[in-house]
Chains A and B, each alone.
Chain A
Amino acid sequence: MLKKVLNKNELFLFLIIILLIIILTSFNRSFLTLENWFDMIKNNSGMMILAIGFLVILLSGGIDLSFTSIGIFCAFIATDVLVSKNINNMFLAFAISCGLGILMGAVNAFFISYYKIPPLITTLATYAVYNGGLLVISNNRSFYAAELPLWYKKFGAMNIFTITKPEGDKYGLSIYFLIVISVILFTWFILKYTMLGKGIYAIGGNIESAKRSGFNIVKIQFFIYCYMGFLAGIAAIMETSILQAVVVSGVSVVDLSVIAAVILGGGRLSGGYGKILGTVFGVIILMILNNNLILIGLSSFWNEFVIGFVIIIGVIITSIQTKQKSRGISIIKI
């Protein structure tokens, strides 16, 4: 029975989510309120979007460690352009950020597909180059709330609908939710209903066979790394709008939460395996853990520890599932 549940990966994750909700709510009622959840959704939209992009790359057997520096780089350039030219246009900001993100992702794809440099090394290198490059270009100049074009604040506060509490303050479901849902659905569609999607899985499953089958490996790899850059561009602007700042500190960290979420969701580092739904659940679990440990009295210092722990658990579960399945029994009937 336990084995069956473990094998239905997504079901297992869903149960974990329910379990977490129950435990946390029992500690603190305010966990299970719309206000808390709308807040979590808004604050973690960036992570969700990045996780989806990361999943796509992982499926192909690749990896991308540069997406955080792509993100901040794009946010900087976009904001810099808007501020210096005194333009207050949201769409322009997104256009610059996403366009630049695609280009930066293309650089990754170029080295990976033409020079056959392993994705791990390539993206580790570009991560450093983009990060350092940003410091140089920006001259360590950051943007803070006062200088940001007005729409950043408006966009960050925009809600799909708003609810007013009896005390008078308001809260609502952020428009970020729509963006996240769109990214999830779009990516899901590509993976499930297009040859491009099948090609991504094929490369991750058996790249030699994919070549023999006739897939355009280069084209597919350009798509996935550029897509990640594109999504990093979107997430970066969204984050900037929440933070009301673009902080260039030179201290950028490869975002472990995103990787943890995808692996917890069933994505395999070796490639070829992983589902959108699993990743969504993985992000939700991390979202719950990231923001709410305080409710059970654990300070934010515990966050990284818990995330690391979660990655280990996720990897162990995946390996148990793989072991279960590798006992091949013949299912042929003639």
Chain B
Amino acid sequence: MTNSKIGKTILDLRNINKFFGGVRALSDFSMTIEEGEIHCLVGENGSGKSTLIKVASGALKAESGDIYINGNFYKNLHIMDAIKEGIQVIYQDLSLYTNLTIAENIAMNQLIEKNLKLINSRIIHNISKEAINELKINLDLEMVVENLAMGDKQLVAICRALTHDVKLIIMDEPTVALTRNEIELLFKVILSLKEKGISTLFLSHKLSEVFQISEEVTIIRDGLKVGEFKTNELDNDKLIFYMIGKKIEKEKYSYDEDKNKDNVLLEVTNLTKKNNFKNINFKLLAGEIIGITGLLGSGRTELALSIFGLNKPDSGHIFIEGEKVKIDSPQDAIKLGISFFPSDRTIEGLFMKKPVDINLIITVIKENLNKMGLIDFRSIKSRAKEQVEDLNIKIPSLSAQITSLSGGNQQKVALGKWISTNPKIFILDSPTVGVDIGAKYNVYSIIKKLAIEQNMGIIMISDEIREVMENCNKILLMKKGEIIDIVYPNKTSENEIFSKISGTSLSNN
């Protein structure tokens, strides 16, 4: 599907083929970006997005294919060529000097380019002031970058890109570490870049952002270009279909509350903790999936941590299967049959350098000891194998290091670890953050299966409203530490939920 484009073509990639050893990373890939265009490159992890931008910026050499930048043909594109032509890449790590000031960071590349030997703060100030004035933002230039919030660091990186007479800024997953406000700010900046005729190509797998900011979308899958569309020609379902190649079955989770109303697994009454949450009351029935959503700071995670023994409440009661309990530590919680899946799988969830099988059974290692109390590795391997099959985890081998797995599969291992404990109550905090679309739906079906087949009571905390709408039979809305409403997915809409938790309404979609 081609689109007629007007205006100057900044980047023109034709039939790019890139191999890594025997693996084809890019397959006959072509793409164009016009002046002032906001273009999004969408694809799952491992689809070839990063490889493409490295080829486009000269960091990697393609085996075959042609590259035209600003109409100039390049057989062998070098990094310096791309920079001279006005292409700037901002990688996810931002490549900033955290020990230097904002001004020094912005001005640094210019200073080197000018081949100066002596410098003074005046020169640095002038170069950096010019850049931030272009974006009309207000930054304290003398602040050391180390102290900045993520969103500000990103803007510093963009300002640095501006000092080069840039025509195209390529951003690799710029919104991953940003708060909602920072994302809005970033989009404002991208729009003002457009006004100056500067094009933006950004990589993303967050679909909502694709629809919010981009004008053109190129979808890549397994190194192939699936299509290039105008954003308004697509909708969420079409986009997912193109990204993963198959239709996603999206069924809401249905649950008969009346039938199960006596099967109360967890009851929370008047739970309160100063500055965290207030007067929390709810019941969790066996086989239910309850969602908790709210803006950042609404107290969702703090509440979950309290039930898991990591955030002792000031007052209120917790009842497990009718009995009042005190949960002072995770060990208490685990003994009561509660499992908790944290939002940061790499820091809190997995032993990154340990093998898959150890990670999967570590929570129940006591059940894998032999008669002498030593670790029974054979039993570990067989339990782990079961898990891997049940959860459909793609691994090179059971002894492979976690770091060698893709994000989605890592997530499944982290899930598997807690499923091993056979909990009655499973609390999941942002279970699919950073996970591909395909893997996301995989995880959802695992969760639904747990609820249906094992009658687990599940609490799913998420800030993606769509996620709780599709997976929960009941959603608790939290705002500023209190439950402001309890809604049912089949009786409400995403928009309605959003306006309740934020006091405003979504701008589009």
Contacts and interface: CB of A to CB of B under 8 A. Distances in A.
Interface stretch (B145-153, B359-367, B427-435): B145-153
B394 to A, nearest CB: 30
Contact of A328 (B104, B136, B152): B152
A329 interface: yes
Contact of A195 (B98, B100, B111): B111
Q: Determine the interface band of chain A, counting residues with CB < 8 A from chain B.
A: 20 to 34
B138 A195 contact: no
Contacts of A196: 117
A50 to B, nearest CB: 23
B256 to A, nearest CB: 46
Interface stretch (A92-100, A202-210, A243-251): A202-210
Contact of B152 (A205, A208, A272, A332): A332
A328 B136 CA distance: 22
Contacts of A272: 97-99
A205 B100 contact: yes
A33 interface: no
B486 interface: no
Contacts of A116: none
Given A214-B112, A334-B137, A329 B149 contact: yes
Nearest to B80: A214
Given A198-B104, A202-B108, A210-B97, 17 more contacts: A193-B118, A194-B117, A195-B118, A198-B108, A198-B119, A202-B97, A205-B97, A213-B112, A215-B112, A272-B98, A273-B99, A325-B144, A328-B148, A328-B149, A329-B149, A331-B148, A332-B138
Interface in B102-154: 104, 108-109, 111-113, 116-120, 136-140, 143-144, 146-152
17 contacts: A193-B119, A194-B117, A195-B112, A195-B118, A195-B119, A198-B100, A198-B104, A202-B97, A205-B100, A206-B98, A272-B98, A330-B149, A331-B149, A332-B137, A332-B138, A332-B185, A334-B136
B155 interface: yes
Contacts of A205: 97-100
What 7 A-B pairs have minimum CB-CB distances, sorted nearest first? Answer: A272-B99, A205-B97, A328-B149, A205-B99, A333-B138, A209-B95, A330-B149
A29 interface: no
A198 B111 contact: yes
A104 B96 CA distance: 33
Contacts of B99: 201, 204-205, 271-273
Interface in A166-204: 193-196, 198, 201-202, 204
Contacts of A84: none
B182 interface: yes
Contacts of A334: 136-138, 185, 188
A191 to B, nearest CB: 11
A212 interface: yes
B152 A330 contact: yes
A139 interface: no
A78 B393 CA distance: 69
A164 interface: no
B112 A333 contact: no
A212 B97 CA distance: 12
Contact of A206 (B96, B117, B138): B96
A299 interface: no
Interface string A261-304: 00000000001110000000000000000000000000000000
Contacts of B95: 206, 208-209, 212
B133 to A, nearest CB: 12
Contacts of A332: 137-139, 151-152, 155, 185
Contacts of B136: 334
Interface string B240-263: 000000000000000000000000
Contacts of B147: 325-326, 328
B101 to A, nearest CB: 10
Interface string A295-334: 0000000000000000000000000000001101111111
Contacts of A330: 148-149, 151-152, 181-182
B399 to A, nearest CB: 30
A272 B145 CA distance: 12
